[in-house]
Every structure is written in structure tokens, then in C-alpha cells.
Structure 1
Amino acid sequence: MSENHLSFNFRSNFSAYEEQLCSPVTRVVLLKTHKTGGSTIASILGRYAYTHNLKLPRFRSIKEDRPFYRQMLEGQPNLKMFVSHTLYNRPEMDFVFGDAKYVTIIREPTAQFESAFFYFKMPQALHLEQFENPIEEFMQSPEKYKNTKRFRHHEKSLNGQFRYLGLPESKFTDEWFIRYKLKQLEFEIDLVMINEYFDESLILLKKTLCWQFDDILYLSKKVRSTSNRTLLTSTLKEKIRSWNSADVLLYEHFNRTFWRRISEYGNTFFDDLNIFRKMKVASNEKCVGSFFNRSINDGPDVKLVKVKENLSEKDKQTCIDLNKDANDFMRILG
């Protein structure tokens, strides 16, 4: 296992007193949502598992389009972390992962919808490529397009975030049940991160898991180029929000709890955030040689990282580990 750490001139102010109050968490379940930054969180957790010899599920052993059940991981004992897409099913997850910490990340619904719409090639599936703005056309008759025969990703075109956090489609417009589910999730999930405040989220993750700054470092990658983004007018955003009304309620609720968590963190939060951002800049400067664009699964081009060559063996291996994604770690540890 890799035990490498980049050499930085920044110290964590995670005091000895605080360390006495908690021990690093080694059992974590990531409730992974699509196109929210979840893959970066998964790679952070996967790297921690790799450097601490913690077992991950085997690659591609999970069925993501149905609620999690224990038989998915049959024959895989002593699992410590879960970083795959699946529908949230707490009793079954507890059976496998015991007293794990549960974390997730969500994103502003119009931005998440736009990203998922093109990542999952919905314009091609729905024959909307000829339109200048396929999302605008989709939103003219969203129910019709969602119910198109053989539309494989129909479930990701409506409230795709709340669906993966356990809200049944039959309850998408049931406001009473949604409010109940939000309170349930607030009680059950240890941390809900927000994509738009990614670094702030990682500081909360660090505290929640009693980890160190090194453990939450990441390299920015798999970001779509601006040429592959669609402009959303204010009118179109409102249509998307109306269509994904459950996701809007989800985001608004946990955006409020997010800032409450920051206020409860203590007066060192912004000092810690500043330290982390300096470390992140330093790691990117040390590791990133160049960027290149490549299509993933025939989707839009995304920005990937080529690690520098002229590094010490120790730093090069650490940079390579920072550049791995969760699937790489599952192949190694599963």
C-alpha cells in the first residue's frame, strides 16, 4: 500500500486536544449521486482506503438502478468503505457496513440536470440532437420525453438526486412525504456536502471523519470544457426547477443545514479552509504536468491530468495516487 505524502510547508491546526477526542473513521458509506462531484469524493475515500489497507467492494459488483441489498456484496467480507452508485437502503447497508459514517454530496438542481442530460447522452437517446438547445425542447414536454419507450436513463431525467437518496418516484410530488424524508435523511446521514462549496464541504468531511488535510487532497479533473456546456436562461432554469421540484426541496433543505454545520464548526473553520486551499494549490503545482481532453464513455470531452515526470519516486507515486479515481482503487482493493 502507498504510504506517500507530498512535502508541504503547511501544518494542520488539528490540535492534540482534538485528536484525543476522536479517532480516524475507517468505515464510511458514500451515498453517491450523479454529476454532483461524487466521483471526486469517491476517489478521496478510495485513496484513504488504499493508504490504510481498507477493503472496498469489487469493481462493478453493484447494481446502481435498484435499492442496495446485502446479496450484492455476498462473498466480500470485512468491507470498510462503499463508494458506488446505488439507491439508498439504510437497513441493508447497516447489515453490511455496521456503524459506518454516511456521507453524500448534492448540487444545485438546474446545474446537475444540465450536466446529467448531456453526460448520459439524453439528446441522442431522445433524438433531440437537431435542436439548437435540446434541453429547451425536452422541457416543452418533459413527461412525454421521459416516458419515451426504451429511454434507458429516464430515471435520471427527473429528481435524479433525491431518487438515489431513497425517495420513490411515486412520492415525487407528495410534499408531506418529502418533508418527512428530508428530516429522516438529516437524522441518518452524518454529512451532506454541497458541490458549489466543494472545499468547504471537504473541511466538514475532514472533521466528521477525524482525518488530516493530506487525506482530503484532490486534483481537479474530469471537468467538462466550457464549449460543452449549454446556456440556461432564467426561464429555462425555472422550468427545470419545476420539473425537478423534489430535488429543489432537497437542495434548499441541506443548503441550510450545511451553513449551520459551518457555524457549529468553531472559529477555526476559515483558517482550516485557507490552509487546505494552500495545500491544494501546492499539490496541483507539484503534480500536474499538463491537461488533455478526452471523451469518457462517448460523452462530452472532459479535462484529464497528466502527472509530471521529473519528480522523486515518492512524490511521483503520491501524485499518481491523487490522480486515480475510485474505480482504480476498487480494482486494486476489491
Structure 2
Amino acid sequence: MPSLRKPWHSMAKALILGCLLTGFLLLFYAYLAPLQVNMADPQDETSCSSPPTLPVNTTEGSCQPKMDIVFMKTHKTASSTLLNILFRFGQKHHLKFAFPSGYNDFNYPTFFRRSLVHNYQPGDCFNIICNHMRFFYSEVHSLVTPNATFITVLRDPAHLFESSFHYFGMVVPFTWKLTGHNKLAKFLQNPTQYYNPQGYNAQFLHNLLFFDLGYNNELDPRSPQVEEHILEVEQRFHLVMLQEYFDESLVLLKDLMCWELEDILYFKLNARRASAVPQLTGELYQRATEWNQLDALLYRHFNASFWRKVEAFGRERMAREVANLRRENERMRSICIDGGQAVDAEAIQESSMQPWQPLGTKTILGYNLKKRINQRHKQLCRKMLTPEIQYLIDLGVNLWVIRIFKYIREFLRW
């Protein structure tokens, strides 16, 4: 009889979980369905008309830090690290964030609408918008002052695809039929055999950057619309950062926003364990690039414009600024991090420092805060090391959907 306990235990667990998931999905759909609106019918609402937020205690004629910023948070591009920088800056200057309600994104993958902002009232103005969304320029622009700074970050499309494939694979159902040790390689041998553009979460595996920026990720790369969209991004965004040159990107951001060095200090958040997945080979890299051709065209354009900005900034000046940033980051690492480096999830001692993990795995690294930190740096260290979900809660966001997912995960470990 004892030998039958485990199978019955598993069956009961699966049955209860199935009922919970079904009920949750029905509830979730009922909550989100009213938000599915026709993008061709703009809302008749008052746009933000407040003057830009001015800094305090600035000397006349000196560079004044800019306070109004929109960060179009793309997926798997070191965006969580940049998000932490914006959270800290907003707290430091008591700025007003536009946050979603219930979850950590604005109803992604549907288009952003101003009504998705928690407690939004017509005419509301915000200093910082920075959570995941599918970009809809006119709606976002209506929530900030006319001179707000728009930024985003891109990543080499092949490496972005590889990261997205492994991070989101469990929630993209059409990939479940893939077999073998290296499912990514099998997918790239013949993507159209497995890919379904209408499939649930399909956007994560095809031209994800193009999709996040609000465009059709299934366009023919030869379509004139592709170039039009790329030029539109260039017109709307004041700075397009590159994940591969993150430090250089932050130096350009600091210069653009007239911020201080402390404002752009960071530890790498939401990083994946290096051994979690095999690296792309030369052939697979080419296949991944070809499969994500729209993103490749986008990246190629902004890679060139990025280095033009670096040239205008000055190569030698850039080298000095990057060295200063890295030196200060290392100093903060020695002050803040127990052991000096990121560790696996199982080794993280505080639950408040546990990063959100992809479904079915624990490949995202986190940090342990040193027990003894001088009073001057104690608060800054904790903020720099706090993962996105916990930081949002600290900022007062009610993540009720995240809490439900957490309860389901805890049940799975029952």
C-alpha cells in the first residue's frame, strides 16, 4: 500500500493544480478582456500638460538633471538592471512613477493604454514610465511632459533569441513538441515547422524587439515599412542603448540626462547562470540572425548610430568615463556583496533578494547582502541588490497577480 501513495499523491496534486489554473485563467481573462481595445480608436482623454519637473538646489547656468523619462523596457536586454537605476533615481528625487496594477507590466503583450496605469485619472502627468509594455507612442507620450526623454535598449538579435528561447520556452506551447537535448538547435533547423505566429506567446521567439516597440514582427524584411519603422524609432527615442556596450550606454545616458555617477551605478540583475544552456555556435548564430531579420535590421541601424554618438562624445572621454564607472561599481561590490559575486538561487539567504525565476527552472542568479555595511552605504547597497518584483512592492505596487503565481509555485513544491 505505501507504494501507491506517491502516484495517488501526484494525481491529486495534478487535479487540484488543474482546477486552480483553470479558475485562475478564467478570472484573469475576465479581468483583462475589457482592456482589449481597438488601437484605431484613440481615447478622448486630456493629455499631460504639466511643466517639466525641475531639480532643486541647482546653480544658475549649471547642468540641471532631467527628471522626466520614458524607458521602453525591452525583454532580455539587461533592462532589469536599468530598471533598478530608474527606481533608485525616482526615489532619490521623489518622482512620480506610472505603475501598472496587479502585475509588473502593462498588460503585455497587448498595446499600452494610459488606462492601464494604476489609479489613472484624465490629465495625470508622470515623471517616469519604465515597466514592460508593448509600446504605443501616442498613449505613452500623453502621460509625460513634451520634453520628456525617451530611451530604450537593444541586443544582438541572435543572442536575444537564444536567451528568450530558454527563458520563455516553457510558456510558448508550440515549442513543447520539440524533442532532444538541444531544442533550440532543432527549432532553428526549420523554424517554420514549429513556429505558429498566432500561437500563445509566439512573439517571444520571432523579432521580439520589433514586437516590443509596437510593430508587426511578421513583416516581410523587404517591405518598405521596415525602414519606415526604424526611422520612426530614431525620431522618437533620444537614446537607443546597446546591451553589449552597457557601460558606454550608461555614460551616454548620464551625459544626456545630466545625472551624477552615483545615479548610474549598478549590479547586474536577472542574470542567467552561464552553464544553464549551450552557447550559440557560428552556424546557429547565423540561423538565429536570419530568423530574426527584422530585429537584425533594427540592431544594425542603431549599432551604427550608437557609435556615432560615442564619436561625438569623444573616444578618450568615453574611455575615462567607463573606467570611472567600472571602478566605482567594483568599490560598491566590495562594500555590498557577500562573497563579491552573484550566486545560485538556492544560496540566497534573504527571500527579499530572491529574483523571479522562469517557470520550471532556477537559472537566474542573485546576491547576498553583506551583514555589516557602514551606515553611509547600507541603504544604497540594499536598493542596488533588490530584484524587480521586490522593488516594485517596496514602491507600493500591488502585485496581486504575481502573488497568485507565487502561491501556485509553492503548491507545485508541495
**Which TM-score band applies after superposition, normalised by the shorter structure?**
0.7 to 0.9
Q: For the structure 1 residues 158 and 122, does the alpha-carbon distance in structure 2 shift closer, same or farther, using more than 3 Å as the test? A: farther
Shift of 1:292: 2.5
Q: Percent identity?
A: 27
| Letter paired with 1:322 | M
* Aligned 1:230-245 pairs, distance under 5 A: 230-245=278-293
Work out whether residues 162 and 247 of structure 1, in 8 Å CA contact, stay in contact via their aligned partners in 2: yes
Partner residue, 2:368: 306
1:83-232 equivalences under 5 Å are 83-99=130-146, 100-122=148-170, 125=173, 126-127=175-176, 130-147=179-196, 151-232=199-280
Q: Which amino acid aligns with 1:315?
A: H
**Aligned AA (1:92):** E
- Partner of 1:237, secondary structure, is helix
Rounded to whole Å, the distance in 2 between the matches of 1:166 and 1:81 is: 19
Residues 1:282 and 2:331 aligned together: yes
Instruction: Give RMSD over aligned pairs.
Output: 2.3
Per the TM alignment, residue 235 of structure 1 is displaced from its structure 2 partner at its CA by 1.5
Letter in 2 for 1:95: S
Shift of 1:46: 1.0
1:320 and 2:382 matched: yes
Contiguous gaps of at least 5 residues in structure 1: 1-16
In structure 1, the partner of 2:19 is none
Q: Which stretch has the larger CA shift, 128-137 or 308-317?
A: 128-137
* 2:97 matches 1:56: yes
Residue in structure 2 matched with residue 269 of structure 1 by the alignment: 318
CA distance in 1, matches of 2:61, 2:318: 19
| 1:327 shift after superposition | 3.6
Higher relative contact order (CA 8 A, sep 6+): 1
State the secondary structure of the residue aligned to 1:169. coil
| Structure 1 residue 87: Cα displacement | 1.4
TM-score scaled by length of structure 2: 0.71
Contact 2:210 2:217 (8 Å CA) reproduced:
no
1:250 and 1:207, CA in 2 relative to 1: closer, same or farther beyond 3 A? same
- Stretch moving more, 296-305 or 251-260: 296-305
Query: Could you tell me which residue of structure 2 aligns to residue 330 of structure 1?
Result: 392
Where does residue 343 of structure 2 map in the other structure?
Answer: 292
Contact 1:56 1:333 in 2 (8 A): no
Matched, 1:43 2:84: yes
1:81-119 Cα deviation digits (max 9, x unpaired) = 111111111111111122321101111111110000010
Question: In the TM superposition, what is the alpha-carbon distance from 1:227 to its structure 2 partner?
Answer: 1.4
- Whichever residue aligns with residue 343 of structure 2, its letter is F
1:273-315 per-residue CA deviation (whole Å, 9 max, x = no partner) reads: 1111111111111111133312713344122011111112332
Distance 1:19 1:47, change over 3 A: farther
CA deviation map 1:10-61 (0-9, x unaligned) = xxxxxxx999353211111111111011111111111111121112233526
Q: Note closer, same or farther for the CA distance 1:322–1:155 as it changes in structure 2 (3 Å cut).
A: same
Query: Cα deviations across residues 56-88 of structure 1 (Å, max 9, x unaligned)?
Result: 233526111022111112623442111111111
Say which of 49, 67, 71 aligns to 2:111: 67
Quote the residue 2:40 is aligned against: none
> Which residue of 2 is the match for residue 79 of structure 1?
126
Shift in Å, 1:174: 4.0
- C-alpha contact 2:178 2:186 (8 A) present in aligned 1: no
Tell me which amino acid in the other structure corresponds to 1:38: S
Q: Distance in 1 between matches of 2:298 and 2:85?
A: 24
Contact 2:112 2:133 in 1 (8 A): yes
Task: Provide closer, same or farther for how the CA distance between residues 128 and 218 of structure 1 changes in structure 2, counting only shifts above 3 A.
Answer: farther
Matches of 1:236 and 1:18 in 2, distance apart?
54
318-327 or 295-304, larger mean C-alpha shift: 295-304
Matched residue type, 2:365? K
Cα offset for 1:123?
A: 8.8
Q: Which has the larger radius of gyration?
A: 2
Q: Deviation of residue 204 (structure 1)?
A: 0.6
**Which sits farther off after the overlay, 296-305 or 39-48?**
296-305
* Displacement of 1:163: 1.1
1:310–1:19 Cα change, 3 Å: farther
Q: Measured at CA, do residues 19 and 305 of structure 1 come closer, stay the same or move farther in structure 2, by a change above 3 Å?
A: farther
Tell me if structure 1 keeps the 8 A contact 2:269–2:387.
Answer: no
Structure number with the higher strand fraction is: 1
Distance in 2 separating the partners of 1:237 and 1:21: 47
* 1:28 corresponds to which of 69, 72, 81: 69
> CA–CA distance in 2 between the matches of 1:277 and 1:225?
22
